[in-house]
Amino acid sequence: MKKKYEHIDALNKRWNSDFKSFKEIKDVWDIIHSEWAPAMTYCMDNGEVTGIRNKNGNSEVVWIPSGIALGARLHGNAVLSRFLADELTAYTASQPFGFAEKTNNVVMQTMHDGQTWLTVITNGSDAINKVSLVNKLKMKANIFFCTDINRKEINTEDEIQLQPKECLVLMWKDQ
Query: Whole domain around residue 39: which residue ranges?
Result: 6-93
Is the domain of 30 the same as that of 42?
yes
The answer on 42 and 113 residing in a single domain is no
What does the CA dihedral 101, 147, 72, 99 come to, rounded to 10 degrees?
A: -10
Asked if the structure places residue 1 within a domain, the reply is: no
pLDDT of residue 6: 52
Query: Which CATH number goes with the domain that contains 155?
Result: 2.60.40.1180
Q: Does residue 45 sit in the same domain as residue 117? A: no
Whether residues 38 and 15 fall in one domain: yes
pLDDT class of 162 with cuts at 50, 70, 90: very high
Return the SS3 of 132. coil
pLDDT top residue among 149 and 82? 149
Structural domain contains residue 13: yes
pLDDT in tens, 84-102: 888 888 888 899 999 998 8
Query: Can you give the pLDDT at residue 26?
Result: 46
Flag whether 42 is in a domain: yes
The answer on 126 and 77 residing in a single domain is no
Shared-domain flag, residues 85 and 147 = no
- Residue that is last in its domain, among 93, 127, 155: 93
Residue 25's pLDDT is 46
- Could you say which of 93, 121, 141 is where a domain stops? 93
Question: Do 14 and 81 share a structural domain?
Answer: yes
Calculate what percentage of the chain has a pLDDT beyond 90.
Answer: 41
Q: Which of 93, 110, 141 is the last residue of a domain?
A: 93
The whole-number pLDDT of residue 89 equals 87
Residues 138 and 62 both lie in one domain:
no
| DSSP alpha helix (H) spans, the chain | 6-15, 28-32, 66-75, 78-87, 89-93
Answer yes or no: is 143 within a domain.
yes
pLDDT at 3: 47
Is residue 48's pLDDT more than 50? yes
- Average of pLDDT values for 116-135? 96
Q: What is the DSSP string of 69-93?
A: HHHHHHH--HHHHHHHHHHTHHHHH
Structural domain count, the chain: 2
**Is residue 53 scored above 70 in pLDDT?**
yes
Q: Which of 9-13, 48-52, 63-67, 116-120 is modeled with the greatest confidence?
A: 116-120
Is it the case that residue 74 has pLDDT exceeding 50? yes
Q: Are 171 and 142 in contact (CB under 8 A)?
A: yes
- Mean pLDDT estimate for the chain: 79
Regarding whether 108 and 126 lie in a shared domain, the answer is yes
Q: Tell me the pLDDT tens digit for each residue of 23-33.
A: 444 455 555 55
The pLDDT assigned to 30 comes to: 53
